[in-house]
Chain A
Amino acid sequence: MGMGMKFRLYRYDPESGEPPFMQDVELDIDPAGKMLLDALIAIKAQDETLALRRSCREGVCGSDAVNVNGRNRLACITPLGELKEPVEVRPLPGLPVIRDLVVDMEPFFRQYRSIKPWLVNDDPEPEVERLQSPEQRARLDGLYECILCACCTTACPSFWWNPETFVGPAGLLQAYRFIADSRDEAISARLDHLEDPYRLYRCRGILNCVDACPKGLNPAEAIGRIRTQLVKRRV
């Protein structure tokens, strides 16, 4: 033995009538080469009442975002060995908790949908692909890779206070993904739709989003570029 790792898990069962509480759990696990998700699954194998989401277990599907020792991360790519004990695992902040580590993502997805996240191009379709130079395509790097895990948006105090009206960093990153696409023809409509004291300008440059993104993306920079475009078109 001696491999015991200490965890503090946020537990909430809406059917119990009890308020949420922090549960101390000790797990016999060798952290070498393992991720936090491995530990959560091992804990669930002992106590199947623990609720969490997971799918790809390799950091590309965005299911298992949780708050770990105060930071939003994907459990499946968070190495156990680098975590300070007791490892405190909570649901993502700023969204209603359904149960344990599972939050209601709808406010997040509603903002994603609000930016009309699809390519707009009403020209007749060519028989082959639309051309795009490698340089034009490179402008989408750092934008299209978003996995909609909500680590960034739920780390943003502006989103906590204005979830109905502020698009949030993930939504704005995706808005810029289409603004930056040489094939998209709705740039001015997209900018009109964002030029609003809340939708875009609630971003106060706190930069939690940059720190939180598990894919190393930079929503703050994308937001900055949207602002620049708005300023440019005013002059």
Chain B
Amino acid sequence: MKTRRFDALIIGGGGAGLRAALQLARSDHTVAVVSKVFPTRSHTVSAQGGITAALANVDDDRWEWHMYDTVKGGDWLGDQDAIEFMCREAASAVYELEHMGLPFSRLDNGRIYQRPFGGQSKNFGGEQATRTCAAADRTGHALLHTLYQQNIKHRTQFFDEYFALDLVRDAEGYCLGVTATSIETGEPLLIEARATLLATGGAGRVFGNSSNAMINTGDGLGMVLRAGLPLQDMEFWQFHPTGIAGVGCLITEGARGEGGYLLNRHGERFMQRYAPHAQDLAGRDVVARAIAIEIAEGRGCGAQGDHVELKLDHLGEAAIAQKLPGIRELSIRFAGVDPAHAPIPVAPTAHYMMGGIPTNLHGQVVAPARFGPEEPVPGLYAVGECACVSVHGANRLGGNSLLDLVVFGRAAGRHMLEYLRDNPYPRPLPDDAAAAGLARLARWDRKGSERVAAITADLRRLMQKHCGVFRTDGVLREGLAELDALEARLAQAGLQDTSRVFNTARIEALELENLVAVARATLVSARARTESRGAHAREDFPQRDDANWLRHTLYVREGDQLDTKPVRLKPLTVESIKPKERVY
């Protein structure tokens, strides 16, 4: 079997992976990035509104205020040490992107443009802050291209259109690399590395209605689960309030940040009822639930009453053209509406996975040790949406995702350099290093009675129906029973196409396996959490329950085991932000 060896290996070519890769590429270590798509096709490219950092370019600001908002936004489930770290590092991480060439929009004084975003306040819950740095409404595109450009400059080795299959670990648990397959040739490849970083992004395609790119299939999560490692807080999925109705494509929160607002069928600004203070810029979970209630209670717009309207025309055509050109283009194309003249039909859409692979704030993957607290898994890191560090807690604030990518991408890159120094020699590969990965490939050489496309469609319907904005034990339990049946079908599935070259049917089958694993983790975790917190809204347990549930869930695949661990309420240096009622 073909084998390549590098010092460090990054799986995933989005913002997190490329930021970490850059840290390593600037050193004298060799680094490879494996990406199933050409890196600028990664989902980071779709991020619109911006990256949050308390630069104080527009208004007074402090990172401590950003930290407070992030803790509150996450409904106190975020770990406060990681949140302090992120908010402290935010400004330098953004300045660094500017120095790399990111074409931020500018204020009249030449500094980086910042806009108001949801859940952002001044002075620990006071007036609306203006904190989110933007390149028009194409911030993710600008960020991803800039990081890719820097990686070209520093000669990062790219394995474009390679699909990672499984982690390679030895008996002591060290991660020694991955098995992968070239999509172009179908050949398997073993990539050895002393340190491996998973930056494989989210899994939003597990839902029928999703803002996510089609590639967001939780591939790193599947790898981790198959390795027997846990996933954390998988019940927490963010439904973004403003997806284009019926399509799912996102309309940035920046549209409301710039002054847009939501209306129901009576032309009422209904957010005033749900969040009297922050109104349309309340936390995303709050706004998404409000829209879901408006629709459920018959105040939705359109012939089906299945959406609400986002009004922007009062901002004027010039402001829309300058600040929101990308969403104008999306709206015209996908909704047939020019927001300069008419409101955009919107509804909640699955958007972001707050849970993921548990890590510490160096990006090291952590797992419960046999005796006592968790320990790092040697040689294995995770960063970005696939990871749960946990800064987003039970609900991510807009503008904190791009920040998470670059802050923890950089932190993980730094720590990997230390790890490489402390572990200068590759450990021997076990004899069966490639066995699991090769078995995954071989499994799909078989014909079968069930079809991958049909099972995928049914899985997405199942999750939409059984694990949406509102949940109950009964609905979740039915979902799990349906998932059992679906997994039985998956076992009978086969491919019509068993060719080697650019066989995307095989890739979609491998992705489906990962999605199913994510769905199970989500349903089991959501059933276990008998409270409502952030994005996890249980109709049968409508209150937040700090006495029992100020804890992270940890799901392990074998036997669908569910464990918990306490939230870290102690920050690095500042005072803890004590849990209190979350009102906007």
* CB proximity of B306 to chain A, nearest CB, Å: 14
Instruction: Judge whether B246 and A98 touch: CB under 8 Å.
Output: no
Asked if A102 lies at the interface with its beta carbon under 8 angstroms from chain B, I say yes
Residues in A neighbouring B249, C-beta threshold 8 A = 57-58
**Stretch binding the partner chain, chosen from B61-69, B491-499, B523-531:** B491-499
Residues in B neighbouring A183, C-beta threshold 8 A = 101
**Stretch binding the partner chain, chosen from A117-125, A162-170, A192-200, A202-210:** A117-125
Asked if B141 lies at the interface with its beta carbon under 8 angstroms from chain A, I say yes
**Stretch binding the partner chain, chosen from B33-41, B119-127, B464-472:** B33-41
Asked if A28 lies at the interface with its beta carbon under 8 angstroms from chain B, I say no
Q: Which residue of chain A has the shortest Cβ distance to B509 in the bound complex?
A: A48
Q: Which residue of chain B has the shortest Cβ distance to A116 in the bound complex?
A: B153
Q: Mask for A39-63, Cβ within 8 A of B = 1, else 0?
A: 0000011011101111111111111
**Known A56-B213, A57-B214, A127-B95; contact A118-B495, beta-carbon cutoff 8 A:** no
Asked if A15 lies at the interface with its beta carbon under 8 angstroms from chain B, I say yes
Instruction: Judge whether A129 and B103 touch: CB under 8 Å.
Output: no
Residues in A neighbouring B106, C-beta threshold 8 A = 132-134, 136-137
**Known A14-B501, A60-B141, A133-B106; contact A55-B41, beta-carbon cutoff 8 A:** yes
A130 vs B102: C-alpha distance in the bound complex, in angstroms?
A: 11
Instruction: Judge whether A52 and B40 touch: CB under 8 Å.
Output: no
Interface size on A (CB < 8 Å)? 56
Give the interface centre of B55, B100, B453, B508 by most chain A CB atoms within 10 Å: B453
Q: Which residue of chain A has the shortest Cβ distance to B151 in the bound complex?
A: A118
Asked if B370 lies at the interface with its beta carbon under 8 angstroms from chain A, I say no
**Known A55-B37, A61-B45, A117-B149; contact A98-B184, beta-carbon cutoff 8 A:** yes
Q: Which residue of chain A has the shortest Cβ distance to B326 in the bound complex?
A: A60
Residues in B neighbouring A148, C-beta threshold 8 A = 38, 40
Contact of B496 (CB < 8 Å), options: A48, A58, A128: A48
A181 vs B98: C-alpha distance in the bound complex, in angstroms?
A: 12
A8 vs B149: C-alpha distance in the bound complex, in angstroms?
A: 38
Instruction: Judge whether A58 and B41 touch: CB under 8 Å.
Output: no
Residues in B neighbouring A125, C-beta threshold 8 A = 99
Residues in B neighbouring A102, C-beta threshold 8 A = 502
A100 vs B138: C-alpha distance in the bound complex, in angstroms?
A: 31
Instruction: Judge whether B101 and A57 touch: CB under 8 Å.
Output: no
**Known A15-B501, A45-B453, A181-B103; contact A131-B111, beta-carbon cutoff 8 A:** yes
Instruction: Judge whether A55 and B214 touch: CB under 8 Å.
Output: yes
Asked if A24 lies at the interface with its beta carbon under 8 angstroms from chain B, I say no
Residues in B neighbouring A144, C-beta threshold 8 A = 103, 135, 142, 145
Instruction: Judge whether A62 and B501 touch: CB under 8 Å.
Output: no
Asked if B500 lies at the interface with its beta carbon under 8 angstroms from chain A, I say yes
Instruction: Judge whether B452 and A48 touch: CB under 8 Å.
Output: yes
Contact of A48 (CB < 8 Å), options: B45, B153, B495: B495
Instruction: Judge whether A55 and B95 touch: CB under 8 Å.
Output: no
- For the complex of A and B, 9 pairs with smallest distance between CB atoms: A119-B101, A131-B110, A48-B505, A45-B453, A118-B149, A99-B502, A129-B98, A61-B41, A49-B497
Further 15 A-B residue pairs, CB within 8 A, beyond A13-B499, A48-B495, A49-B497? A45-B453, A48-B451, A48-B508, A56-B46, A60-B46, A60-B141, A61-B213, A63-B38, A79-B333, A118-B150, A119-B100, A119-B149, A129-B111, A137-B103, A178-B101
